[in-house]
Amino acid sequence: MHTRVLSTLAGVALTLAVMPAQADWRSYVNRELGFSFMAPGEIKAAVGTFRGAIAGPRQTIIYRSVEDNIEYKVTVTNFVQAAAEGATILGERQYMFQDGKKVLLDTFARVESGKDTVYGRKLVVDLPDNKGRATGVFYFTKGRLIALEATVLPTHGNFASPDPSRFVDSIAFALSRTESGAVEIKTPALE
């Protein structure tokens, strides 16, 4: 009996030791830009660039973390002066995300409800040369294009991981839905 209990405990300990550490997921909010999301790992802010044939060259704000060989990235691009072109700018961004890749999912995405609903799209693609699988959601609201992308890298291996969907589906534009205790993230200054 004792031997069986001991071996069970040893088995559990071994399992825990070889499993990847499960990082805590935390809520993040940027009240200035008007959205919140959840992600694991340490979020770092940076400034990036984006170029689209219609959107033109743009500086972007990026919030990024990597956890267990999955890269989580929120990208915000400001188009306040071109908000009326938002449908086409959003369509271009979605098109670029899947262009030349194997599309596994391309469907409606929407958050909030009633007159506050924000419509976008959710896509899943396999990256070329076995570089992983990327899940993205894309919205354009209040003059900003907001993209959440999670990429399962080959070193992770489980392309069916639920974590990318958990990340992209966590976006909220109604700040009243922000979890209490959410970490306030700052907006890095653009050049």
Partner 1 sequence: MRVTALATLVGAALATTTGPALAVWHGYISHPLGFAFAAPGELKVEKGTYRGAVAGTRDTLVYRFVDDNIEYKAVVIDLTDNANDAATLLGEAEYNFQDGKKLLMDTFGRLDRQYGRKLTIDLANNGGRTTAGFYFINGRIVSLQATVLPANGDYESPEMARFVDSITFFTVRAPDDAIELPVPPK
List of residues contacting partner 1 (CB under 8 A): 53-54, 83-92, 94-95, 106-108, 110, 113-121, 139-141, 143
**Sheet order of strands, 183-184 included:** 35-40, 25-30, 183-184
Q: What backbone phi and psi angles, to 5 degrees, belong to 161?
A: -55, 135
Q: Which is nearer to partner 1, 68 or 85 (CB)?
A: 85
| Backbone conformation region of residue 93, classed left if phi is above 0, alpha if psi is from -120 to 50, else beta | alpha
Q: Which is nearer to partner 1, 35 or 72 (CB)?
A: 35
SS (H, E, C) 136-147: EEEEEECCEEEE
Smallest distance from partner 1 to CB 138, Å: 9
Q: Which is nearer to partner 1, 65 or 141 (CB)?
A: 141
Smallest distance from partner 1 to CB 38, Å: 22
Smallest distance from partner 1 to CB 118, Å: 5
Smallest distance from partner 1 to CB 121, Å: 8
Q: Which is nearer to partner 1, 98 or 135 (CB)?
A: 98
**Sheet order of strands, 133-141 included:** 44-52, 56-67, 70-78, 144-152, 133-141, 118-126, 102-111
DSSP code for 156: T
